Each structure stands twice: as structure tokens, then as C-alpha cells.
Structure 1
Amino acid sequence: MSDENTARPARPDADELIYTVDGAIATITLNRPQVKNAFTLTMIDRWAEALRSAAADPRVRVVVVTGAGGAFCSGIDLAVLGGIEPTPIARRRMLTEGVHKVARAVLDLEKPLIAAISGVAVGAGLDMALMCDLRFAGRSARLAEGYIKIGLVPGDGGCYLLPRLVGPAKALELLLTGDTVDGVEAERIGMVNRVYEDDELLDATYAFAGRLAGMSPISAAMIKKTVYQSQTMDLRASLDMIASHMAIVQSTEDYAEARAAFTERRTPDFTGR
């Protein structure tokens, strides 16, 4: 969903999403600031492609997604919804074969994914942030699952993701009212990890991303997978899985480098092997 400011024709633009790599950190910048970075379906294709590129690039160890122009994402451009054939199957396919491409690419990404949220993150825009592993927000960020206010249901994972962060009761409160929370409140209830002054958000996000990029990428990937997979396992199964992971990481060059660096009191240089 999107807010009223996005109700205008959606025009594909080669620069509507910018993907860059700087050192070990990839950045996905949503770049339609004139509509608070509301996304089109062509933008969705590029978003999923960027995530797949980051996953396949051995240089990349952390991915940051953010928005240009003081907003994160106001959801889907309303012009996209207006252009969908008014049949149930076409509307369903718009999600399953369109918008959900990003969610599937996120599920396949083994590297840490951080959302840097400034300004609005509304509806599907908030859902896209909730898909990330970590969320950092500016103090004045405005986050809302506002679907209900225009007679819709969360179409991009909000009913699945939000309860896992804030608990079912608080999630239902936000989903059933469409209420907006700022960055400070979002941190208090666990929707975001950290909140910063608006002008410090990106610097703080990249500083944290740099810390993660300095860790063993093999260990980071296994930790991430274990955390998510363990949510659907009992403890016995999770312990069995982590025993296998431990045996694998102890056979890597990165583990040998970590031990050597610890003994020599220096910063390790991990290669992902």
C-alpha cells in the first residue's frame, strides 16, 4: 500500500533504484524521492536483482537498503494497483509474481541485511524493512502498517514479520489501527534495533555494517541461517544442526586465521574460505 502522495502515474526509470558496492558493503538505494520512494514493479525487479547480485558477489559481506530524499519507502505506487486487471487471479499474481520477488530474494540472502529507515516506512514499505535482519531508524522516522486505513490487508509479510518482532498483541494493535510510531517508539517496542538522530543515521548504519563486514563471512552466514531456521525447530534439532555447523567452521581457513589473530593480538583478515 502507499500514502496519498503516491497517487500519480508510475514511470519506469533506470535510476529508480541504485545499487552500489563500496568495499565489503553493498547499498540498495530506493530512488524515487518525489513519491517518497514508492515502488513500481520494474523497481521490484531491480530490487530482487540487486539482492541476488549481492548474494553472488564474494566481495560483499553486508547489504544496506535505504531510501533517497528523506524517506525510506511509502509502499507500492498506487498507479501500479490501478493498472492491474481487476480480477482476483491478476491481483494475486501482482503479489506472488511481482512484489514477493524481493521477499524470496531476501530469504536466499545469507549475508546480513540492514535497513536504514528515515522518514516514512508505510505499508509494504514497512514490510520491506521488517524483512531485513536489522533495522536502524532516524528519530523522526514514521512507521505504519496502514493497509487497513484503505481497506486492504498486509500484502508483503506484515502479518508474519511484525508479530515476531513486537509480539502478537502489539502487532495486532498496529495492524488493526494502522497507527504510526516514530523511531523512538519503534525502538522501545522492538520494531527497530537502534534509533539515531536523523543526520547521524547513515553514518551509524555504515559504521555498524563495517563491524559486521570485518567478521568471518562463513560464521556470519551460518549464524544467520541458524537463527531463522531454529524458529521452526525444537531445541534438540537446533542443537544437532549447530553441531554440524561448528564442525564445518572449525575446518575453514577463516577459523585458523581467527585463532592466529587472537594469539598475535591483531585484526583478523578473513577471506571466506
Structure 2
Amino acid sequence: MSDTVLLQRDGAIATITLNRPERRNAFNLEMWSALGDVMADLNGDDGLRCVVLRGAGDKAFAAGADIAEFSKVRFSAKQAEAYAETMDRATDAVRDCPHPTLAMIRGACVGGGLELAIHCDLRISGRSGRIGIPINRIGNALPYAAMIALVEAVGRPTVLELLLEGRIFDAEEACAKGLITRVVEDGALEAEVQATAGRIAAGAPLVARAHKIFSRKAAAPSDLQDKDWAAPFEICDSEDYREGIRAFLAKESPNFTAQ
């Protein structure tokens, strides 16, 4: 595995660290490829309950893409499309991850950093968080993969505010607009993320995975078919549902097995 993307496993929680602190964790092509590889492996791991994504150091989650390599790898329409294929493989893997995903944001979360974070289920930021996509300054258009994810998350007016002005939001404004889920003091960020991941991991994994699917489908309720309407009730045939009821009545912590 590339050392630009680090993986740590603590029980049912996996932590991915974007590891280019000398460049404020700006993505180069190697880093996007490595992230796609790591996510592909984690997505097939049924023992996981939560995936945390963070940046190395305390300066940035990810300060966009590394523009220094663009003249070699992203300097024409053909190159840009090939670059996007590698990038989209990584962000799609985060979007489609069956396990809940959580972005821990400190400092810069701009450009490709925000394009990655917006695909996570939850985004918790320290007050130092700086959020934006100032690509109007380099004459670059946002590809549809990121555009769709942002519009789904925060709506067209906020996306146009991001893109047309190129302004960087502080954490509080980003939270008010829906780009961030929660803001805490920087000193409390690690503990808040750990506590959040712990709460997620303690829940029934079948239910967490189902809720990710159901919430996406709920965005277009007119497309729901009979099998979709029935799917939430099928969870009641699971062993985890029986275990949850047993543990609640016995005033014990449930032992969910994703069965």
C-alpha cells in the first residue's frame, strides 16, 4: 500500500489517513489510486462497522489536488478525463461503502478534499475547518460526479455560491449550509470522532447498512417499488433484531453479528 494513504484498524472501526502533510494532504494521482484500493478492500470486509477518514497532521483534511503535477497528468481534456476516472473510483467507493463513513476535518478541506468528504455519511469538523472549492481561480470546471453529490447534499444555490465565488467558508458557515454535520472545538475533535464512531459501531450493522440504502432511495420516493417498501420490514427476520429485543428487555448490551 502507498504510504500516501495509511490504514489503521481498531476492532470494528477502520481509520484511513491521507498522508501528505508536507503538502497539506493535497491529492496527487498516486494518492487517489491508493485510496481507491484501500476502500475496495474495506468495502468487502463484513467485520467492519465504521470507516473514519482524516488527514495527517493538524493543518488540513486535504487541501485539494496537487496542482504542481497537473502539467504532467491533467493538462488536456483527455488527461483530465483519465485523471477523473482514478479520482471517481475512490470517491465512488466511499459513496458506495456499505459501512457508515465519517470524515474528521481539521483545517483545509477544499477542492478534492471537499469532493471526497461530501461522499461521507457524516462530516465532523473542528472550528479550524475551512471549506470550499475555489477552482474558478484556475479555470477548472467541477466534473459531474462531484457536482451531483454536492447538489444532492446542499442544493444548487449553495453549490453555485461555492463555485461562482470561490469563497472559503469557515466551519460554522459550512455547517449552517449542510456541508458539515457538526462543529466542535479543535481540542475536542478527536474525542468527538471516536465517540461518534463508537456509537455507530455499537449499533446493529444490518440496520446501519440498510439505512444508508433507504435514505438514498427516499430522495426519489416515486421510484420506490413494492420490494423497496417491504425491505425495512425484512430486517425483523434477522438474528440481530431478535438479539436487540432480548438485550433491551434484559437491560444488557446487545451482541450484534450482522446475521
| TM-score, normalised via structure 1 length | 0.89
Partner residue of 2:69 out of 80, 92, 96? 80
SS for the counterpart of 2:52 is strand
1:85–1:68 CA distance, 2 compared to 1 (3 A): closer
Provide the rounded CA distance (Å) in 1 between the counterparts of 2:186 and 2:82: 37
Question: Are the equivalent residues in 2 in contact too, given 1:230–1:238 (CA < 8 A)?
Answer: no
SS for the counterpart of 2:103 is strand
Question: Are the equivalent residues in 2 in contact too, given 1:31–1:37 (CA < 8 A)?
Answer: yes
Q: Does 1:253 pair with 2:242?
A: no
Spell out the pairing of 1:99-110 with structure 2 (5 A cutoff): 99-110=87-98
Question: Are the equivalent residues in 2 in contact too, given 1:145–1:158 (CA < 8 A)?
Answer: no
| Structure 1: 5+ residue stretches without partners | 1-12
| TM-score, normalised via structure 2 length | 0.93
The aligned residue for residue 24 of structure 1 is 12
Q: Once the two structures are aligned, what percentage of the paired residues are identical?
A: 34
Question: Are the equivalent residues in 1 in contact too, given 2:63–2:110 (CA < 8 A)?
Answer: yes
The aligned residue for residue 218 of structure 1 is 206
Deviation at 1:156, TM superposition (A): 7.0
Q: RMSD of aligned C-alpha atoms?
A: 1.8
Deviation at 1:125, TM superposition (A): 1.0
Number of equivalences: 258
The aligned residue for residue 135 of structure 1 is 123
Amino acid at match of 1:95: A
The aligned residue for residue 243 of structure 1 is 230
Q: Does 1:272 pair with 2:258?
A: yes
SS for the counterpart of 1:255 is helix
Provide the rounded CA distance (Å) in 2 between the counterparts of 1:79 and 1:108: 30
**Residues 149-174 of structure 1, C-alpha deviation per residue, up to 9 Å, x if partnerless?**
21111237442222323322122112
Question: Are the equivalent residues in 2 in contact too, given 1:123–1:154 (CA < 8 A)?
Answer: no
Provide the rounded CA distance (Å) in 2 between the counterparts of 1:69 and 1:227: 33
Amino acid at match of 2:168: T
Question: Are the equivalent residues in 2 in contact too, given 1:123–1:145 (CA < 8 A)?
Answer: yes
Deviation at 1:198, TM superposition (A): 0.8
Provide the rounded CA distance (Å) in 1 between the counterparts of 2:32 and 2:115: 14
The aligned residue for residue 79 of structure 2 is 90
